[in-house]
Structure 1
Amino acid sequence: MEKNTLYKERLSDIKSIFFSWKKQFKLWFNRYITSKEVHHVKLVAVAKNESMYLPEWIFHHLYFGFSEIEIYYNGCDDNTKELSLLLKDHPVKFINSDNIFTSGIPAPQVHVYRSCFEIQTAADAIMFLDIDEFWVPVDLNKTISEVCNDVGIFDSLSFQWFNKLEKDSLFTSALQQEIKVESARQIKTLYKAYLRPQQMNPHNTLDEGVLQKFDDAKTLKCINAQNSQVDSSNTPLNGYILHRKNRSQYEYIAMLLRGRPLANQDSTVFELKNNRTGFYNVSNPITFNYNTTSYVEYRKFMDKHLQHEKFTDYFKTAKEHVDSRYLQVVKIVGENYLANKQGFERLLAGVTLSEIEIIRNRQ
């Protein structure tokens, strides 16, 4: 009996070693033998009530060479669905994912991401971004494929966040010729399509044996257990993620309605995000200046599409949804501020809008 048990244990160990070796060999083979230049990069996003911002986000990434975009929308009560018809002539697909986000699946966003690797695709690489995240080449000229090929051999390629500072700019474009930003430690990652990540979060994979590179073409060196942060740099080499963390004060307030309830509160009353901390002063912001010719070409492309008459009614309705959410948040704050002052002040730090100041002053 003991010999039998020992035999089974050894057989199990041998199988485990074999499958681990097989996985690493397949990864090595894909990386060095079958892998080719990156030409086709798919971009995937999860979206909820972000109709006002989707067109700019989509055309921005089409301009920089993403050849296919998939939007998994969920829980939308705005006019996001209208975009499917408006963008029918572009390589953009809208997928209703309500069933995933209401199924009780842990981390549904990551579930969507992982499922994308199982779908047959012509893409050489896949990248996942939120709608407030914009991939930007430092020269405002190179495509995502060109940057990938400049970096060389990799399984995954990560780019650093830079938070855009735009507290007082209402409904502005993501890029101006000069922008002020704050460097952040977070990264977002592009993956070769042959990967099958087992451990993953919205920022990166945690799988072992993956050849992970950073924007500067050097080996990625993460500083936390989640592989989601690096030592921040002020000078990206090839590209970066422009993170529109808060947008303007008005839009920030409206955005607060899109999240989880405040901790320890009745979710039927407090349907506000609890992971935001308002606005704070950045003492030494970084300035990014873009080449005039490159920026003008980018702006022409964006304006040509975003100012098309077919979007006139769409943007009017989308803005009305933002306005409605803003008023709902102000109402919630006004009715509950006194009983939850500490929590609200954390959410509203640095907000100086008159409606919020009136609420503060009357308590």
Structure 2
Amino acid sequence: MLANKNKVKIVAIAKDEARYITEWIYHHAYFGFDAFDIYVNNTTDDTPDILKRLYTQFDINIIMADALYLNNPSAFQTNAYKQSLLQAQKDGYSHLAFLDIDEFWTPKDFATSVHDMLAKAKHVDVLVFNWAVHRSESPFSRCFSKVNEFINDRHVKAIIKLGKPERISIHSAFGANLSYGNSDFNPPTFLDASKAKIEVASDQAPNAFVVHRVYRSQVEYVSMLCRGRPRGDRFKSNRVGYYINNNDGYQFIIDSKKLDAYYDGLDKVIDSGGLAKPIQDAEHFVIERYRQFIELVHQGVSVVEAISLLRALKNITLPEVLGVKSMLKDKADKIKIFQIGFNKSGTASIYHYFKSEGFKAIHWDGGRLSKTIKDNAEQGLPLLTGYEGYQVFTDMEHREADQSAFYSAEQYFKQLDQQYPGSIFILNYRDINRWLQSRRNHPGYLQKTVQSTGWSVDEVIEAWKTEYYDHIAAVKTYFENKPNLITLDLDKDDNQALFRALAARGIVLNQKTLPHVHKTKMNPEQKKKHIDAIRNAALFFEQDNLETAYMLMKVAHELRPEGKFIERKLNEFEAKLVAND
């Protein structure tokens, strides 16, 4: 057993980190962390060899974790943390920190050790430190220079006192009667129940923080996209673009003597371990992976990969990548998905489903979408003239001058198929009685049809019934021997039916579940209640399924664009998607 004093271990996951792990281990040992659990998984570079070389200089427990990963890829990180938590308690450690290899715990004075800080935080069970996102790195630069450009992010990483927490997450810990403290040792202002984010000023350094090297240089950032994701994606699909230099944030300035002493120590570690050549080889590995990314895109990507990569490569200015982005845009723009079923049958849900995945989607557009398609048809133009940049088209209907309804989706689905070969068509419908009732409930919809046709209410209802059966039959007959029709019964099909149908046609989306969005206007109290429910559902999924949370919060933002809390949460979710693997 260890002596009765603070003893702090860091737990980290390492996949292809050979270029970076020496600096990371040295940095944390320099600031007083005593030991390291490193879970190596799915690694194709020389991370294990470098760790073995560092093993002679630092207290490192190297855990080859492919089996643990394969047991449950999506929960691998938290399962690794739990395993180390149990063992650290047995080994007598007092505290445990959970950091990634691109996260550097750093004191503001660049001198205070983690032990100094813990000595002042005896009353705190969970110390949380916000991210300071690094935005001034050059290719393969070391983490710190004399002047560093940082911007604070609300997300935190924690150092926990062992013995009291009952549950841990990637960002925090939970348990009965736990005391939490920030780097000032004061209770932090958490922004949600998950305790993953705190209120923090964006433009000044706290007493201690976690430098997050989520971007590094542009070459390294693009190379990192080839690391894939645990669920098996070839590319990282949870990045929303490279940073833009602006005046936000602050300069973190380090005293020259402190910085020189710090790097003198790092150079000695590299010399003692014979690490200069392995680190140089690892740098070549990162560059080669960057080239591999370029080659893979040239060889061909799926539509979904093209869309997610366009989002991830936003603001990248490397000439090679600009050419790749042009190819990706051409690929993404070619796919066309048309919802050709009925309004009041999940059209808004379908729209938000694709929009949240990065597709350029257009929904109704105030009737202009349908009107433009009709005008183009009458003028002999391609039907999507004026909407060429969109990929997904929903709710294609409008009212004519006499207020009669015109449904371009019903009138022109054959021409759309002929003019845009390879497109996918979604015939969405629901139980006819429920559909009729929903149309009747839509403010003004029935009344406008009665007025424009001169029919009675019963006659309009009968006409709608005929329209319903005739259109379904016409679509199914036309596409009978074609593979590009998806039928979606909103009442009978489960909420993953669309995901499966798209996947069978080569479009594998990130989110499996179709959201349920009510488009029909309702009284203000009803509307508030439903939007609140969507917002709260997003908060519920925040810890366990961030992509679902992000999608739902985007829906809430669409429905309540003036909501400051929703907007703030949406921005936070985007930042976390950038950061989390």
TM over 0.5: yes
For the pair 1:251 / 2:220, whether they are aligned, the reply is: yes
Q: C-alpha deviations, 1:153-174, integer Å up to 9, x for none? A: 111101010000035x000001
2:107 maps to what in 1? Answer: 137
Normalised TM-score (structure 1): 0.82
Gaps of 5+ in 2: 331-581
After TM superposition, list the pairs within 5 Å mapping 1:193-272 onto structure 2.
Answer: 193-198=162-167, 200-233=168-201, 234-260=203-229, 271-272=234-235
Relative to structure 1, the CA distance from residue 101 to residue 329 in structure 2 (aligned partners, 3 Å threshold; closer, same or farther) is same
Query: Distance in 1 between the 2:141 and 2:264 partners?
Result: 16
Deviation at residue 84 of structure 1 after TM alignment: 3.5
1:305 aligns with 2:275: no
Paired position in structure 2 for 1:41: 8
Q: What secondary structure sits across from 1:218 in the alignment? A: coil
Please name the residue that 2:35 is paired with: 68
1:97 is aligned, of 56, 65, 76, to 65
C-alpha contact (below 8 Å) 2:7/2:93 kept by paired residues: yes
Structure 2 CA distance for partners of 1:137 and 1:189, relative to 1, 3 Å: same
Does 2:349 correspond to 1:349? no
Distance in 2 of aligned mates of 1:84 and 1:45: 13
Residue pair 2:50, 2:275 contacting (<8 A) in 1 also: no
2:17 paired residue number: 50
Instruction: From 280, 286, 291, give the equivalent of 2:255.
Output: 291
**CA separation of 1:150 and 1:310: change in aligned 2, threshold 3 A:** same
Instruction: Pick from 305, 315, 333 the counterpart of residue 279 of structure 2.
Output: 315
**CA shift for structure 1 position 123:** 1.8
Equivalent pair of 1:56/1:306 in contact (CA under 8 Å): no
Q: Is the 8 A contact 1:161 1:243 kept in 2?
A: yes
Question: Tell me, what secondary structure is at the counterpart of 2:61?
Answer: strand
Tell me the secondary structure at the aligned position of residue 157 of structure 1. strand
Q: How far did 1:242 drift?
A: 0.3
Retained in 2: the 8 A contact 1:52–1:319? yes
**1:308 Cα deviation after fit:** 4.8
- Residue 105 of structure 1, CA deviation: 6.3
**Which of residues 325, 339, 358 in structure 1 aligns to 2:289?**
325
Residue type at the aligned position of 1:171: F
1:166 equivalent among 130, 133, 136:
136
Structure 1, unmatched stretches of 5+, are 1-35
Kept in 2: contact 1:337–1:344 (CA 8 A): no
CA contact (8 A) 2:135 2:243 kept: no
In terms of Rg, which structure is larger? 2
Q: Report matched runs for 1:74-113 at 5 Å.
A: 74-89=41-56, 90-104=58-72, 107-113=75-81
Q: Give the AA of the match of 1:235.
A: Q
C-alpha root-mean-square deviation of aligned residues, in Å?
A: 2.2
Give the match's secondary structure for 2:173.
coil
Distance 1:110 1:309 in 2: 31
Are 2:324 and 1:359 aligned?
Answer: yes
Q: Kindly tell me the number of residue pairs found equivalent between the two proteins.
A: 320
8 Å contact kept, 1:69–1:93: yes
Q: Distance in 1 between matches of 2:183 and 2:12?
A: 21
In 2, the alpha carbon distance for the partners of 1:360 and 1:237 equals: 38
* Distance 1:105-1:252 versus aligned 2 partners, 3 A rule: closer
Q: 1:147 to 1:38 in 2, by over 3 A?
A: farther
Name the SS for the 1:226 alignment partner. coil
1 or 2, which has the higher helix percentage?
2
